[in-house]
Structure 1
Amino acid sequence: MSGDTRMSSWQLLLRNPVTAVSATVLAVVVFVAIGANWLAPYGVNDVDVPNALQPPGAAHWFGTDELGRDVLSRVLVAVQASLRVAFVSVAFAAIVGVTIGVVSGYRGGWLDAVLMRVVDVMFAFPVLILALAVVAILGPGVTTTMLAIGIVYTPIFARVARGSTLSVRTEPFVAASQSMGTGNLYILGRHIVPNIAGPLVVQTSLSLAFAILAEAALSFLGLGIQPPQPSLGRMIFDSQGFVTLAWWMAVVPGAAIVVTVLAFNLLGDGLRDVLDPKQRTLIEARRKR
């Protein structure tokens, strides 16, 4: 892809105000998550019972919980943990799933049939049920949560990579490389993977959004990130008994989940419009008119 094409892609991406705003929001969220330990005004586990259930104010911008802990500080560190789980688990899913999908789509035959039947079996289980099964077998914890979410999203990346590979492997430049006796690894790395990167980038953005939701759900059920480390799902669980007395205990971590997930989804939609040739053609045509 030429420099002009890349510049055009960025221009098209930034011309979409929704995509530009979502990218900005994500940049802020990532920056805040990286600096959470320095930005947090209080310790995440600093108990101050006399100031329990204090509403948002000058001392505690987002109020305090039932033990007097600062909600803002806990949310900042919880977002950091949530993003770490999401990025690691999706990276695992992408590496394993893309490898399976590319090999399956490129080689075909019995290997394709065997690998896709395994993927189909994994697809047969609902996402949360499969994650719960993995956590139940390995036990709760951060590492287990990453592994469970990664396993859940591996077949999705495998399907996307296989479908894209099936389209690219019939292209003339692939046939030309094969006719010259070029090795399969070189063809995969030089021709196949770069040409299927677009759908994979979009899928990565969408998977990050769902990974955050999955981590929050597992933590809400007590199977994800374990106390005393704060997590968004656990904070919402702890707020159930104080909804009428301290609404901020549920609203603040819930809003953090909604904003982050929505930003990832909107960014994924924008990337799809730019990287999908059909969508990109329609956008450029509308812009010219």
Structure 2
Amino acid sequence: MTDPTPTPENPTATDVEPEADGRVAAWKLLAGNPVTLFSVIVLVIILVVALLAPWLAPYGVNQTDVTRALQSPSAEHWMGTDDLGRDIFSRIIVASGTSLQIALVSVIFAFVIGVPIGIISGYLGGITDTVLMRCVDVMFAFPVLLLALAIVAILSPGQLTTMIAIGVVFTPIFARVARASTLSVRVEPFVQVSKTMGTPGWWILLRHILPNITGPVVVQTSLSLAFAILSEAALSFLGLGIQPPNPSWGGMLFDAQGFMSQAWWMSVFPGAAIFVTVLAFNLLGDGLRDVLDPKQRTLAEARRKA
């Protein structure tokens, strides 16, 4: 007789094949969603531009020329110049790298801390769940931007501080999402059977709980990236994020507020960059939700066949 309990050395065929088939079906459904594909293409373009920004920028980001200040968009300056004669196009594409870096690092920070807290809290329950969730509730008691402002004010403004602040405020969100998903998975028969057969708790968490909560967590990651972009722009607009003369989309909006009537391009183009990036992340999150959530996947397949 063989031990039917799935272990690292003894995975069962029924554990592997349905998951593989589900992943294939999910990817096919995702590839068939034109809105999601559009968002992926936009995000890939933004990422490529951010990586190649030092070579794509036609001018230095801090290259000033007061004789060309507040010039409207032209063949020489595609998005015009600001009040110091700096090329707005060059500053926007260089700032894209900074914004994406801050968003990615801060969300990874929140993911790495929040998801384990949520899984442990939901799986163990009892006093552990009560203590961890009360700590999360305390963080939720503060508005997101207000908590980020407080953290930045304590640690002093800067790029690293902005990453920490945004990461901290998003940590309880990931903890809540992971806990809610864990609570629904831990009562499933395959988890109860594993417990009965004496499977170690750490293996249940890694083999059964974590794979079955990836859908909501991945969707939350995409949405958090969108809000992280907005949070970084807000902090920079208030002077607590990226510090001048380094370019940032929020900082460029702050510089433009005194020239709204005479130089519309100073605010329109940075605002458009924020809008397009946030929209793309949100559309990607919606697409991922449709293929990773079984109920939403069923509805999406029905709409596609209709």
Q: TM-score range by the shorter chain?
A: over 0.9
| Aligned-partner residue type, residue 215 of structure 1 | E
Partner-residue secondary structure (3-state), 2:243: coil
Aligned pair 1:280/2:297, yes or no? yes
Which shows bigger deviation, 226-235 or 8-17? 8-17
| Aligned-partner residue type, residue 252 of structure 1 | F
Which residue matches 1:73?
90
Aligned pair 1:9/2:41, yes or no? no
Q: Distance in 1 between matches of 2:160 and 2:99?
A: 12
Which residue matches 2:191?
174
Partner-residue secondary structure (3-state), 1:42: coil
Q: Distance in 2 between matches of 1:76 and 1:45?
A: 13
Which residue matches 2:9?
none
Q: Which structure 2 residues correspond to residues 96-135 of structure 1 after superposition, within 5 A? A: 96-135=113-152
Which residue matches 2:10?
none
Partner-residue secondary structure (3-state), 1:239: helix
Q: Distance in 2 between matches of 1:57 and 1:116?
A: 55
Q: Distance in 1 between matches of 2:305 and 2:296?
A: 14
| Aligned-partner residue type, residue 109 of structure 2 | F
Which shows bigger deviation, 182-191 or 27-36? 182-191
Q: Distance in 1 between matches of 2:213 and 2:113?
A: 15
| Aligned-partner residue type, residue 203 of structure 2 | Y
Aligned pair 1:48/2:65, yes or no? yes
Aligned pair 1:138/2:171, yes or no? no
Q: Distance in 2 between matches of 1:241 and 1:122?
A: 36
Q: Which runs of 5+ in 2 are unaligned?
A: 1-17
| Aligned-partner residue type, residue 131 of structure 1 | A
Which residue matches 1:208?
225
| Aligned-partner residue type, residue 159 of structure 2 | V
Q: Distance in 2 between matches of 1:103 and 1:8?
A: 30
1:239 to 240, 256, 279: 256
Which residue matches 1:197?
214
Q: Which structure 2 residues correspond to residues 223-234 of structure 1 after superposition, within 5 A? A: 223-234=240-251
Q: Distance in 1 between matches of 2:107 and 2:101?
A: 10
Q: Distance in 2 between matches of 1:117 and 1:5?
A: 36
Question: What TM-score does the superposition give when structure 2 sets the normalisation length?
Answer: 0.92
2:282 to 241, 265, 268: 265
Q: Distance in 2 between matches of 1:129 and 1:35?
A: 34
TM-superposed deviation, 1:2: 3.9
Which residue matches 1:89?
106
| Aligned-partner residue type, residue 117 of structure 1 | R
Partner-residue secondary structure (3-state), 2:268: helix
Which residue matches 1:61?
78
Aligned pair 1:255/2:268, yes or no? no
2:180 to 145, 163, 182: 163
| Aligned-partner residue type, residue 205 of structure 1 | S
Partner-residue secondary structure (3-state), 1:279: helix
TM-superposed deviation, 1:104: 0.3
Q: Distance in 2 between matches of 1:288 and 1:53?
A: 53
Q: Distance in 1 between matches of 2:20 and 2:49?
A: 32
Aligned pair 1:29/2:76, yes or no? no
TM-superposed deviation, 1:92: 0.4
Q: Distance in 1 between matches of 2:41 and 2:35?
A: 10
Q: Residues 2 and 105 from structure 1, CA distance in 2 versus in 1: closer, same or farther, beyond 3 angstroms?
A: closer
Aligned length: 289
TM-superposed deviation, 1:152: 0.5
Q: Distance in 2 between matches of 1:249 and 1:286?
A: 42
Q: Distance in 2 between matches of 1:184 and 1:92?
A: 25
TM-superposed deviation, 1:180: 2.7
- After superposition, what is the alpha-carbon deviation per residue over 1:191-220, rounded to whole angstroms, capped at 9, x for unaligned? 111110000000000000000000000000
- After superposition, what is the alpha-carbon deviation per residue over 1:247-277, rounded to whole angstroms, capped at 9, x for unaligned? 1111110000000001101110111111111
Percent identity reads: 69
Q: Distance in 2 between matches of 1:94 and 1:2?
A: 23
